[in-house]
Homo-oligomer: A and B are copies of this chain.
Amino acid sequence: MPAPQRAPTLVDVARAAGVSRATASRVLASNGYAAPHTRDRVTAAADRLGYVPDPAARALVRGTGVRLVMVVHGTSPRALDDPYVDQVVGAAARVCGPHGVGVALHWLPTRDLTQLRRLAEQRGVSGLILVNTTPSVLAAVPPALRGRVASLGVGSPLVASFDIDNGGGTAALVEHLYATGRRRIAMISGSRWLPCAGRSVRAYRAVMRAAGLPTRLVRGDFTADRGRAAAREVLARWPDTDAIVGASDTTSFGVISGLSRDGVQVPGDIAVTGFDDTPLAAMTTPSLTTSTHPVAGIATAAATAVLAGDAVRPPMLFPSRPVHRMSG
């Protein structure tokens, strides 16, 4: 038993199994030929020695990178200061260990989408996951990234999409409000430039039209502050409003906070719904009716696909399911 401390390397395994490096490598990593008997001996030796391939060496020779970059698009670096981003990074970081890679977080300025090209060219980058994807971002994705880029949002023929069915989720909430007697339903939307926000708005419009009701739309930006202000705008323009659909939980927390400061009862006077099912949606008073999304599951799926180098498949739509609580 020599080398007591050093981590076992491929040569150690090969020697222990009585084969050459190449054979051991073939069995352990590549899909090359190997006699069943040999295969067994090698895997047995690897297990016994607790062999773990060195990701650096592997990445070097294979030309694959060593880190998965989470690319968050936004106008300022503050785009990274978002619990949603953290959650997504956390989920990706969970699936990275076994692949011998890690997650890095990068802000992609709206002003300089060419950074995408630079990221793609970097050796060391095994793949990209796009967050807050817009059509312009998709357009800026260099072809060299094919097979190792995914989007948590809209996709393209080049970029695999792992998205939430915002339309369906919003529609379900609006229909729920209608079913519980609300008729003067307003919506506070998300940022104009985000495709997913557009889908929500369209769904809201569609349901209202189908019900023969007029729409009441105020632009928001996913922040609570804007939600608070927007709620007042709604009341100023349409004082008889009896429900407000927020584009995000955060928006709706702001809405409720603004309303209650103005002495408006929720849900007595106005019902409020959120979107996302933030952990604390269940904790507030009143608790927030919202739509829940398997965020971690989505990020996990995207990371797994990128790490596996899967071919681009048709967009994957994850469900948005309503959660009925006290606020609406």
Which residues of A does B touch, CB under 8 Å? Answer: 5, 7, 50, 52, 54-57, 59-60, 65-70, 80-81, 83, 85-87, 89-90, 93-94, 96-97, 100-106, 118, 121-124, 144, 224, 250, 253-254, 256-257, 260, 278-280, 282-285, 296
Contact = CB atoms under 8 A, between A and B. Distances in A.
Contact of A104 (B80, B102, B224, B280): B102
Given A60-B57, A94-B80, A124 B100 contact: yes
Contacts of A54: 60, 123-124
Given A55-B67, A56-B56, 5 more contacts: A80-B90, A86-B86, A97-B105, A260-B285, A280-B280
Given A56-B60, A66-B101, A94-B105, A257 B279 contact: no
Nearest to A90: B86
Contact of A87 (B69, B70, B86, B106): B86
A60 B54 CA distance: 8
A227 to B, nearest CB: 9
Contacts of A85: 90
Nearest to A63: B56
Instruction: List the 3 closest pairs (A to B, CB-CB), nearest first.
Output: A102-B102, A67-B102, A86-B90
19 contacts: A50-B118, A54-B123, A54-B124, A56-B65, A66-B66, A69-B102, A70-B93, A81-B296, A86-B86, A86-B87, A89-B89, A89-B90, A96-B103, A102-B103, A103-B103, A103-B104, A254-B283, A260-B285, A283-B284
Contact of A124 (B52, B105, B283): B52
A104 B101 contact: yes
Contacts of A81: 296
Nearest to A66: B66
B89 A97 contact: no
Contacts of A67: 55, 66-67, 96-97, 100-102
Contacts of A257: 283, 285
Given A100-B66, A100-B67, A253-B283, A144 B93 contact: no
B50 A124 contact: no
A143 to B, nearest CB: 11
Contacts of A118: 50
Contacts of A80: 90, 94
A280 B256 CA distance: 13
Contacts of A55: 56, 66-67, 123-124
Contacts of A50: 118, 121
